[in-house]
Amino acid sequence: MTVRNSLAVLTILASTLLSSALAQTPTSHDKDIDQAVGDHVKVSQLLTSLQRAVSRHDAATVASLVHYPIKVNPGDHPFSIKNEKAFVKEYDRIITPDISAAILKQTYETLFTNSQGAMIGNGEVWITGVCLDKGCTRSDIKIGTIQDTVSIKP
């Protein structure tokens, strides 16, 4: 290998390493999600898992992504779901076509965040973090709200 070839290889390697490091640097959006929910990587993974599961009508996987108990308002009367088994049983009543559409259209980059968490759609689904210890150094990130925002009256 000539010196010129060695320099070219080193330049490409350095460029690749630098771009990889920059790609892993959290954006301001990532930092907003970290502050609101706890971990932007987990939120991104949850959103991807949720979208994949909803697109496949995989009730068990969607149920595994939820904080329990959860009060849901799919457009008729609100009701509570105590566990994954109950969620799976009521899946079609909970994940209505409107809620499903909101989930499937959502992109990570356009998630809205505030003190309630990360919002999917117009508030149909909220991703929240629940502290697992006193100092909140560890959190469990899951779905905390499911509601049909069209049916909610101000």
Query: Other CB atoms closer than 10 Å to residue 100's CB: what's the count?
Result: 17
Dist. CA 35–CA 49, nearest whole Å: 21
Position 57 confidence tier, pLDDT thresholds 50, 70, 90: very high
What is the structure's pLDDT at 50? 98
pLDDT at 31 over 70: yes
* Nearest CA among 101, 90, 113 for reference residue 148: 101
What is the structure's pLDDT at 127? 97
pLDDT at 152 over 60: no
**For residue 22, what is the enclosing H or E element?**
helix 3-23
What is the structure's pLDDT at 151? 56
What is the structure's pLDDT at 25? 67
Dist. CA 22–CA 34, nearest whole Å: 18
pLDDT digits (tens, 9 = 90+) for 17-26: 444 444 456 7
Adjacent-strand bridge partners of 129: 141
Instruction: State both tokens at 143.
Output: 């779905």
Dist. CA 26–CA 44, nearest whole Å: 12
pTM of the predicted structure, to 2 decimals: 0.79
- Expressed in percent and rounded to 5, the helix, strand and coil fractions of the chain are 50, 20, 30
pLDDT digits (tens, 9 = 90+) for 88-123: 999 999 999 999 999 999 999 999 999 899 999 999
